[in-house]
A and B are shown apart, each in its own frame.
Chain A
Amino acid sequence: MKRPAVLTGEYFILGDYACAEGALAAGCRFFAGYPITPATEIAERMSYRMPEVGGIYIQMEDELASMAAIIGASCGGVKAMTATSGPGFSLMLENIGLAVMMEVPCVVVNVQRGAPSTGLPTLVGQGDVMQARWGSHGDYEIVAYAPSSVQEMFDLTVKAFNTAERYRIPVILLADEAVGHLTEKLVIPPEEELTIINRMPPQDPPGEYLPYRADDSLVPPMANAGEGYFVHMTGLTHDERGYPIITGEAHEKLIRRLIQKIRSHADEIIEYEEVELDDADIVVIAYGITARAALRAVRDARAQGIKAGLLRLITVWPFPEKKIQDLAQRVDTFVVAEINQGQIRREVERFVDRPDRVIGVNKLGGDLITPNEILEVLCQPSPK
């Protein structure tokens, strides 16, 4: 039986499957991937569902090819996604830079596992946060969402597509093994209730349209292949026509715009959830699966009379630096819990006057951080 793209209803479903359904609901009709634990179930679901909705599932020969293929498909006007884990993500990075430079919307899912190298294929990790930020060479801005639940595997995948299309960028869904392999409740809303954003088409006729001329939004409208605009796109530094110019001046102009196009919209892009922050003395910062343990710890601390709060990052990139600066004015201590050696903690430290006000709760991967491990820190006397 053929099912529709938006499977409105209530489900008890795997996180990876929810991600695939979110992509389809967002209008994704091209998936290229290469199997890897713990992201394989996304590919499996896509191989089954794409033909039902008139889309393409293609299993490429590796992740270099997968990433190149989704950029190619998106240049053809089809929303496209790939899904992988650390080893594959490493292979995708050069072409993520190409998507940044060519301004091609696409979504890359990284279901993180214990790393480096082959690491812990079946166990959780959150160690690719900085790789997601800086992994491709050069200066650029990136948007990355960190889902904490199966519902968010769906919702944030939809959002990732919307952000990709809105700003003409590659967007990363930085999931983790625990969320990807979690089975819990998912509600898929009726199709009419979903917000879907599509890339802005050219506003000028062929001949007048310049593929990289942007208005104040800094996001140029995009012509797809086959529409008669005869676009040229390159990873080389280029002018508004898309033609290469190899000068420092042209580079400054282009890269400045690519960076500003995200920075100037940071307030619209950045998302976080605030729990009990109003009167908090100590604030836990967490994302992904770890945010769930953090929430439990905050509730338990409150029950013991400790004024704890939670800042759950929904976008890890761009980083909510203003929010941290703001909180630093009225909060004593930050506790950053993450399954890595302090990648976001260092980021928090950059926006707090004294590094000793920022405490890390860290694991290397393989095991989740428990609520108690965070609670213990919340119960310690403040460094002030």
Chain B
Amino acid sequence: MSAVTEVKTRHPLDRYIREERFPHIWCPGCGLGIAMSSFLYAVDELDLDPKEIAVVSGIGCSGRVAGYVRFDSYHTTHGRAIPFATGLKLAKPHMKVVVFSGDGDLASIGGNHLIHAARRNVDLTIICINNFNYGMTGGQFGPTTPLGAKTTTTPYGNFEHPFNLVYLAASAGAVYVARWTVLHTYHLRQSIKEALLKDGFSFIEVISPCPIGFGRPNKIGEGLEEMKFYRENSVIRNGIDPKDAELSFRGKIVVGKFVDIEKPSYLKTLRDFYDRILGENHGS
């Protein structure tokens, strides 16, 4: 009869996930799954050795990524993913250390660590999921919630000015800064690849729908509708000053790669100093 059709029961990314942990905890319509798979595609396309990758997360829906990926993965405390990752990176300099966490985790409770790791230019890849709210605790406002947005703790609308995360990361010293929505799967994947290869502090903001904490209360819509809203309202502006990439409530979402510069990383500067002063066999 006809040729035997091979039925593929395995997804090419299966080898990078802890299948036994699925189904995951994320809501239908959440952007986190796409963000995670973009990262896994990037790892796959770069053909990196999974043994040489570590993923560190803080606490939050975004922070759960560490529990689903089959790398050495650490789900730490709220806000402390970056300093934990800093210790890990300096202990294992050849490993690629990726921080996957949320806007609240990285920019609110962990904000100080974000700017200082960027200043030191520690070789880390930060994937910051910005869903404009604290999803895990039920949709409270956070440091990226746009002015006017409703959350469970801004019933009259948010009156605090939000951070422009890409501007923050760039000013603090990040050598690679980009922003994409989860719908820019190709661009996002390319950016993650570039960031993984970059020796220095890379920051990628990923705008991700959270129908429960943000879409629904702000009448942006459920699941697919919030995705559609983000796609229709995004504009790609590669290379612009991140200062001009501010986000607003229901406004245009400026995405692109904003910073890609060369600057010696923390470990490189450290080694150069020690080499000069102590001679080459200092061993650090």
Q: A residues touching B (Cβ–Cβ < 8 Å)?
A: 2, 30, 32, 50-56, 58, 60-62, 64-66, 68-78, 80, 94-95, 98, 102, 225-236, 241, 243-244
Q: Is the interface of A mostly helix, strand, loop or mixed?
A: mixed
From 61 to 94 in chain B, residues with beta carbon under 8 angstroms from any chain A beta carbon are 66-67, 70-77, 79-80, 82-92, 94
Question: B71, A230: Cβ atoms under 8 Å?
Answer: yes
Is B220's CB within 8 Å of the partner chain A? no
Out of A30, A60, A229, A244, name the residue touching B91 (CB < 8 Å). Answer: A30
- The chain A residue sitting closest to B274, CB to CB, is A51
Question: A232, B18: Cβ atoms under 8 Å?
Answer: yes
Question: B77, A68: Cβ atoms under 8 Å?
Answer: yes
Question: B54, A98: Cβ atoms under 8 Å?
Answer: no
Question: B88, A98: Cβ atoms under 8 Å?
Answer: no
- The chain A residue sitting closest to B79, CB to CB, is A64
Question: A77, B91: Cβ atoms under 8 Å?
Answer: yes
Q: How far is the CA of A53 from the CA of B83 in the complex (A)?
A: 23
With a 10 A CB-CB cut-off, give which of A32, A50, A54, A58 has the most chain B CB atoms. Answer: A58
Decide: A51 near B88, CB < 8 A? Known: A61-B113, A233-B74. Answer: no
From 217 to 243 in chain B, residues with beta carbon under 8 angstroms from any chain A beta carbon are none
Is B262's CB within 8 Å of the partner chain A? no
Out of B71, B113, B279, B283, name the residue touching A65 (CB < 8 Å). Answer: B113
Further contacts, 20 of them, CB under 8 A, given A54-B284, A232-B18: A2-B279, A30-B91, A51-B278, A54-B283, A58-B86, A62-B112, A65-B80, A65-B83, A65-B112, A68-B77, A68-B80, A75-B74, A75-B87, A75-B91, A76-B90, A94-B77, A225-B95, A226-B95, A227-B51, A244-B67
Task: List A contacts of B85 (CB < 8 A).
Answer: 72
Task: List B contacts of A76 (CB < 8 A).
Answer: 87-92, 95
The 7 closest A-B pairs by CB, nearest first: A54-B283, A76-B91, A72-B87, A69-B87, A65-B83, A73-B87, A234-B75
Out of A54, A62, A227, A236, name the residue touching B282 (CB < 8 Å). Answer: A54
Decide: A60 near B284, CB < 8 A? Known: A72-B74, A76-B91, A236-B75. Answer: no
Question: A235, B84: Cβ atoms under 8 Å?
Answer: no
How many contacts A-B (CB < 8 Å)? 154
Is B187's CB within 8 Å of the partner chain A? no
Task: List B contacts of A74 (CB < 8 A).
Answer: 87, 91
Task: List B contacts of A243 (CB < 8 A).
Answer: 18, 20-21, 67
Task: List A contacts of B66 (CB < 8 A).
Answer: 232, 234
Q: How far is the CA of A56 from the CA of B87 in the complex (A)?
A: 9
Q: How far is the CA of A60 from the CA of B66 in the complex (A)?
A: 24
Question: A225, B87: Cβ atoms under 8 Å?
Answer: no
Task: List B contacts of A68 (CB < 8 A).
Answer: 76-77, 80, 83-84, 87, 113
Task: List A contacts of B56 (CB < 8 A).
Answer: 72
From 82 to 120 in chain B, residues with beta carbon under 8 angstroms from any chain A beta carbon are 82-92, 94-95, 112-113, 116
Task: List B contacts of A230 (CB < 8 A).
Answer: 50-51, 70-73
Q: How far is the CA of A236 from the CA of B67 in the complex (A)?
A: 11
Q: How far is the CA of A95 from the CA of B78 in the complex (A)?
A: 10
Question: A64, B80: Cβ atoms under 8 Å?
Answer: yes
Q: From residue A78, how far is it (CB to closest CB) to chain B in Å?
A: 4
Decide: A2 near B282, CB < 8 A? Known: A65-B116, A68-B80. Answer: yes
Q: From residue B283, how far is it (CB to closest CB) to chain A in Å?
A: 3
Question: A98, B77: Cβ atoms under 8 Å?
Answer: yes
Task: List B contacts of A71 (CB < 8 A).
Answer: 76, 84, 87
Task: List A contacts of B87 (CB < 8 A).
Answer: 30, 32, 58, 68-76, 80
Task: List A contacts of B88 (CB < 8 A).
Answer: 72-73, 75-76, 225
Task: List A contacts of B21 (CB < 8 A).
Answer: 243
Task: List B contacts of A54 (CB < 8 A).
Answer: 282-284
Q: How far is the CA of A52 from the CA of B283 in the complex (A)?
A: 8
With a 10 A CB-CB cut-off, give which of B21, B75, B113, B270 has the most chain A CB atoms. Answer: B75
17 pairs, CB–CB < 8 Å, chain A vs chain B: A32-B83, A61-B83, A62-B112, A65-B113, A68-B84, A69-B83, A72-B74, A72-B85, A72-B87, A75-B74, A95-B80, A98-B80, A225-B92, A226-B72, A230-B51, A233-B73, A243-B67
Q: How far is the CA of A68 from the CA of B91 in the complex (A)?
A: 13
Task: List A contacts of B71 (CB < 8 A).
Answer: 230
